[in-house]
């Protein structure tokens, strides 16, 4: 019995395909690397559906400042965040001599620790930029400004004391 090539591997007639195994290419890209037309159409359909569900908000005028943005769009003030800012500020003020040590009655002055607290507040402001309510942003800016000015004053006073002490030491020798 002689077999021909077509008898060895008969190809199924597409019209007579059964409901068995079927391969569907669902990759989003063609072999040339371009998006398939079906994927583009599907993305456009999804975008239209999302637009229908969530109509776009009216555009905000370019000249709008944070004060003119409605209160519904402004970030909500959180008491815990304000407490965190105040705690860091109080600790910085304490090591800048604003409070006396209860044991000695003398002010505690540690410029390095104060610098750390001020740096923490700076980092907090940088990382939360644009996500603070106007009140929180104002509180943070005011506190940082006051602490930085106090830090400079304390450092200048300490430098002046050091110069006086060195001058007295030279005068004695």
Does the pLDDT value for residue 68 go beyond 90?
Answer: no
8 A C-beta contact, residue 82 and residue 136:
yes
Q: Which residue has the higher pLDDT, 71 or 75?
A: 75
Mean predicted confidence (pLDDT) in 39-44: 75
Residue 133 located in a structural domain? yes
Supply the pLDDT for residue 64. 47
Residue 92 located in a structural domain? yes
Q: Specify burial of residue 113 (Cβ count, 10 A radius: 0-12, 13-18, 19+).
A: middle
Residue 131 located in a structural domain? yes
Residue 24 located in a structural domain? no
Name the least confident of 6-15, 109-118, 133-142, 145-154: 6-15
Domain count along the chain = 1
Residue 160 located in a structural domain? yes
Intra-chain end-to-end CA distance of the chain, in Å: 125
The H helix count followed by the E strand count for the chain is 5, 2
Q: How does residue 141 score in pLDDT terms, banded at 50, 70 and 90?
A: very high
Does the pLDDT value for residue 15 go beyond 70?
Answer: no
Tell me the pLDDT of the chain averaged across its residues: 80
Bridge partners (DSSP) of residue 100 are: 107
Residue 26 located in a structural domain? no
Supply the pLDDT for residue 138. 93
Residue 13 located in a structural domain? no
Residue 61 located in a structural domain? no
8 A C-beta contact, residue 118 and residue 151:
yes
Angle at 38 between CA 34 and CA 40, to 5 degrees: 65
pTM, entire model: 0.55
What range does the domain containing 134 cover? 79-172
């Amino acid at each position: 019995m002689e077999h021909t090539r077509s008898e060895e591997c008969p190809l199924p007639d597409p019209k007579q395909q059964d409901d068995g195994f079927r391969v569907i290419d669902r990759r989003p890209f063609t072999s040339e690397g371009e998006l398939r037309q079906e994927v583009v159409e599907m993305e456009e359909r999804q975008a239209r559906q999302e637009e229908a569900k969530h109509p776009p908000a009216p555009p905000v005028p370019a000249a709008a400042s944070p004060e003119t943005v409605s209160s519904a769009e402004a970030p909500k003030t959180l008491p815990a965040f304000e407490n965190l800012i105040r705690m860091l500020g109080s600790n910085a003020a304490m090591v800048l001599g604003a409070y006396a040590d209860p044991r000695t009655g003398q002010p505690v002055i540690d410029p390095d620790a104060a610098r750390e607290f001020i740096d923490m507040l700076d980092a907090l402001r940088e990382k939360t930029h644009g996500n603070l309510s106007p009140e929180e942003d104002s509180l943070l800016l005011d506190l940082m400004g006051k602490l930085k000015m106090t830090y400079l004053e304390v450092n200048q006073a300490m430098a002046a004391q050091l110069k006086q002490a060195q001058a007295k030491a030279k005068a004695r020798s």
